[in-house]
Chain A
């Protein structure tokens, strides 16, 4: 009896080694992995070729992912970090935790030169609203601030859209940014830790507008056949986001991590990302964008700080934002 138990125990302990399926751990944000997100399709597609097991670990929104990585440091079990953006890459590189990766071809509207990261999609930040309830949306940040509209935004310390909005206001208004935030303060219903919470709250009727992307209405149009959501076009331009993934230097599976990043930048994953992450692909597939994307607003002017500028501006901009909203 005891020997049987012992044998069973040994077999149990040994089974992972016997199975020999390597595990690739991907640290990402929380809206990547649900059944409606890109996670399952990417996992299935990559596992079909890699002979490995892809496991996701989430840690809130994109900026919280970076905080999580700093917390874990070199002990992190993650092989790949997915979901930072160019506002965070300089800070991420400075941790020394990332390893250089092979560049992948892309069709981004801006040049991308960062040896440590592979871009996988991009988009423009925008305030999304219900066009059946709001007929004349604001045309600028200042118009929004002057209105009675209630908005929900994300925290720039934990969320990449939240940080993007901070950079957006900074890029347009420069030294006047603090004043714009002070004017916006009475429009903000709440500040959520991440995009999922904010978007969920908007859909539940908790606010008139939510900080999201110009591409968000495509989800409602294509997946739900619902044309009631629109993104407000701001004359002053829209800040861009380029989302990236990188490989950790301490990864036990560097070859698998490289293969995953190449897969992520390839046609299959890129096509899946368009209609699961609802962003523009880093490399537009030969077939072009799905029908419905032509209805989306096109910003006349796109704004984006370089990674180094964003890193330099971030700390002061967060402090300015906190101070303006604390009053």
Chain B
């Protein structure tokens, strides 16, 4: 019993802090909203937010079905690497992806060059299609991995049975594969929809005007352009209600970890040949080009700029590294505490999931309103960014840890209790070694996400004090594309590097 009290103690205070932070921000915002009347442009932002998120979710899921199916039934050199790369967009800084997308699909990019050469009018990247394109770039890989998991979870006997019964391909799809899809698709749609609801950096860089402004962007503009605190508070309240409603509505859907490792199994049966083979090849090639071309463009555009780095680059890099490391540390420690406690208390799990209802700009605006009477926003830009990043990555980390924490609890809790081991000893010799793998992976995710985050920092940073993603965005805005490319290359290298390093440390520790 004493043991239990010691372990619940910090988790209890932690969950109260999270609840206070999220619900306190929401209450703060609701109180500061001076009027509840939405202007037509606010309605437009709400409509656009929901519309682009719906389109992004539908298109990502629709394209993921043939892509995942092709990857499931084909074996080719580089398949393993391609599947690994599908996890990359999750830790890819948004500004870097936008820079890559602009260089492929922008006015000066190869796509428009081809269109013009064919005598067709060039396409503009700005607006709804640019925003959806970027969101599909980020979420198609996630959806594909989730579906690939689904396909691999279908018992191979079913495929063999269907084949021995001589079912045609269409009937096999309908009776063997469709039930899996029907189970998976709603969860995938919900995840992508929720991610796109809080899109800020994409709308900031590719939105292009009032027609395609998300609520997150409108909050930022109300604060930074108009300094209209009442309107910012109203929009943030709206965003919170929207995200909370969607989170609650989708809570019942079982969501798979689309970014977990281990995706290879022997083929259950001979894949179809003929036009289906050609189709699969085409799909895989197109998906690979769509995902890799922007990344390649960042490298190609960034390399020449490395000789002429912009002013303030190293300060910004240092700032981003500090943010990434501290928020990864805080998020990892907090998620471990909560995940261990959540094995015994539903309340802890709920508290850990609470940040899903908030967004970067919602929390940022709440903190902005709360802190402004006492300090200038610039002075607290770094601590606030760390706090918001750590909080927003918490649900992902707790979800990663929870299954293994439950396992640990089931296997060892009696054993450690009967030995009467003190909590520190349990943590050191029992818990940490067994949870090292998800902890390392989670710390890597948190570090990479915080490294690349462009949200709350845009609200708080002044003229100086930019982080690396903010610097990339400002250089892009100033059309200093070579310098932006170089800074983006450094950013993406550090993000992936941090992720890889933490993941590696976790695996090493687990194996040792």
Contact = CB atoms under 8 A, between A and B. Distances in A.
Nearest to A190: B208
Contacts of B108: 204-206
Interface in A103-146: none
A189 interface: yes
A75 interface: yes
A70 to B, nearest CB: 4
B32 interface: no
Q: Give the residue among A67, A321, A326 with the most B Cβ atoms within 10 A.
A: A326
A189 B477 contact: no
B511 interface: no
Contact of A193 (B223, B225, B226, B377): B225
Contacts of B478: 196-197, 200
Contacts of A325: 209-211
Nearest to A318: B226
Nearest to A148: B121
A67 B376 contact: no
Interface residues of A, number: 40
B477 A197 contact: yes
Contacts, number: 98
Q: Give the residue among A70, A150, A191, A197 with the most B Cβ atoms within 10 A.
A: A191
A192 B481 CA distance: 16
Interface in A173-197: 185, 188-194, 196-197
A308 interface: no
A149 to B, nearest CB: 13
A157 interface: yes
Contacts of A200: 477-479
A72 interface: yes
A57 interface: yes
A63 interface: yes
A319 B221 contact: no
A67 B223 CA distance: 8
Contact of A201 (B207, B211, B223, B479): B479
Nearest to B130: A190
Contacts of A64: 224-225
Contacts of B372: 71
Interface string B41-56: 1001100100000000
A196 to B, nearest CB: 6
A59 interface: yes
B211 A203 contact: no
B40 interface: yes
B460 to A, nearest CB: 10
A4 interface: no
A319 B479 contact: no
B463 A58 contact: yes
Nearest to A27: B463
Interface string B173-208: 000000000000000000000000000000000011
Ranked 5 nearest A-B pairs via Cβ: A200-B479, A326-B44, A190-B208, A322-B41, A191-B209
14 contacts: A57-B462, A150-B124, A155-B225, A157-B221, A158-B221, A185-B211, A191-B210, A194-B477, A197-B479, A201-B479, A321-B210, A323-B40, A323-B44, A326-B40
Given A205-B107, A321-B210, 17 more contacts: A60-B224, A67-B226, A68-B224, A68-B227, A71-B227, A150-B124, A158-B221, A158-B225, A192-B477, A200-B478, A200-B479, A204-B479, A206-B107, A323-B40, A325-B211, A326-B44, A327-B211
Interface of B: 39-41, 44-45, 48, 106-108, 124, 126-127, 207-211, 221, 223-227, 372, 376-377, 462-463, 477-479, 481
